[in-house]
Amino acid sequence: MKEIIGKSEPMMEVFKMIQLAAETDLSVMIIGESGTGKELAARAIHNASIRRKGPFIPVNIGALTPDLVSNELFGHERGAFTGAHAQSSGAFERADGGTLFLDEIGTMDQKTQVTLLRAIEDKAFYRVGGKDLIHVDVRILCATNEDLQAAVQKETFRKDLYFRLEGFIIRLPSLQERKEDIPLLAHEFLREYNEKYKKNITDFSTEALDLFVNYPWPGNVRELKNVIQRAVLLAPRNVIAPEYLPRRFQQKSVPNNKIVFDVGTSLGDAEKTLIIRTLKDRKGNKTATAKILGISRRSLYNKIQQLNIKV
């Protein structure tokens, strides 16, 4: 699957799910942290599906103000609003016969959610300011880094739209969960930026790769790619060493089983971090987590609710 790089067990599961999703025409919801490659996964589904010869149209809902989302999705008629000097097609029309990818779907306002649901169910919509119903054949893929089930419970995201979009769910692992892939990704990005910047950097030093593997990568694959792009530009020799990495890599790394708090960290934040890290280490087992923390299971549940911890 050329769109996505990986050989770790979590990524093998992702590849399997992408192939299964490509064999259907169901809506797909891709869930993952920012920078994990949700659009790449969506493109992989499209390229392996029967719609591969049709267009793939991505729309980042989170990058649009609420008043622009409807216009971007459905287009507008001439004179629909001030500045609408000509008719304009929206993403739904441009994606006809192919795939429409809606990134950061959780940021969509409630009014547009209603319009989107109707367009998906009817396979038809009106342009903004239009009177003619426009029919399209579009497959919907969406992505989110939010907990949409929690948003449904809070009534900030429509339940009927959520169930319409979750026909097939794919969860992308964070880079921290697929450390085995870090050297593979690093060398692929090195090849890419060597070619782009006409450089001839052959490898990373052992120290640099060790730093990569032990770094937590809060920005995931996107952060790794940016770090390597910078290093390729800075490195004068044929090997990337630690001195060509950002300053945060020069600091002594903290083992994965340790937590370090800055002076001034509130007790609430420290407690929340400790609970989250322990839950993750125990793979979500609340009984084991409560035992390690020295509290009852009931107390742990109360803390999770009080500190608004997503589990």
pLDDT in tens, 21-58: 999 999 999 999 999 999 999 999 999 999 999 999 99
pLDDT band at residue 288 under the 50/70/90 scheme: confident
pLDDT band at residue 304 under the 50/70/90 scheme: confident
Q: Report if residue 4 sits inside a domain.
A: no
Report the distance separating Cα 74 and Cα 280, nearest Å.
42
Residue in the structure block whose two tokens are 């992408």: 18
Query: Which one-letter DSSP state was computed for residue 88?
Result: B
Regarding whether 52 and 16 lie in a shared domain, the answer is yes
| Nearest to 139, CA basis, from 75, 170, 90, 96 | 96
| The pLDDT value given to residue 45 | 97
Regarding whether 182 and 163 lie in a shared domain, the answer is no
| The pLDDT value given to residue 83 | 80
- Amino acid at position 28, single letter: V
pLDDT in tens, 175-222: 999 999 999 999 999 999 999 999 999 999 999 999 999 899 999 999
- Whichever domain contains 290, its CATH number is 1.10.10.60
Regarding whether 222 and 86 lie in a shared domain, the answer is no
Q: Are 164 and 170 in contact (CB under 8 A)?
A: no
Q: Is the pLDDT confidence value at 264 over 80?
A: no
| The pLDDT value given to residue 15 | 96
Using CA atoms, how far residue 158 sits from 22, 37, 113, 128, in Å, is 26, 26, 7, 22
Between the CA atoms of 195, 197, 203 and 205, what dihedral angle is there, to the nearest 10 degrees?
Answer: -160
Regarding whether 136 and 113 lie in a shared domain, the answer is yes
Helix residue spans in 215-296 (DSSP H): 220-234, 267-281, 286-293
- Amino acid at position 177, single letter: E
Regarding whether 53 and 156 lie in a shared domain, the answer is yes
Regarding whether 144 and 22 lie in a shared domain, the answer is yes
Regarding whether 239 and 96 lie in a shared domain, the answer is no
Lowest mean pLDDT among 79-93, 161-175, 182-196, 241-255: 241-255
Report the distance separating Cα 111 and Cα 150, nearest Å.
19
Regarding whether 196 and 146 lie in a shared domain, the answer is no
| The pLDDT value given to residue 260 | 65
Regarding whether 141 and 35 lie in a shared domain, the answer is yes
Which range in 94-103, 242-251, 274-283 is most confidently predicted, on average pLDDT?
94-103
Regarding whether 230 and 181 lie in a shared domain, the answer is yes
Domain final position from 139, 171, 203: 171
Q: Report if residue 121 sits inside a domain.
A: yes
Distance between the two ends of the chain, CA-based, in angstroms?
Answer: 31
- Whichever domain contains 229, its CATH number is 1.10.8.60
| The pLDDT value given to residue 258 | 66
3-state secondary structure of 59: strand
Name the residue range of residue 16's domain.
9-171
Query: Which one-letter DSSP state was computed for residue 62?
Result: G
Full DSSP string of 153-165: HTTSS-HHHHHHH
Q: Report if residue 299 sits inside a domain.
A: yes
Regarding whether 129 and 164 lie in a shared domain, the answer is yes
Helix residue spans in the chain (DSSP H): 9-22, 38-48, 66-74, 91-94, 110-122, 148-153, 159-165, 182-197, 206-214, 220-234, 267-281, 286-293, 297-306
Regarding whether 83 and 21 lie in a shared domain, the answer is yes
Lowest mean pLDDT among 26-30, 80-84, 164-168: 80-84
Between the CA atoms of 28, 33, 39 and 43, what dihedral angle is there, to the nearest 10 degrees?
Answer: -60
Report the distance separating Cα 10 and Cα 180, nearest Å.
10
Number of domains comprising the chain: 3
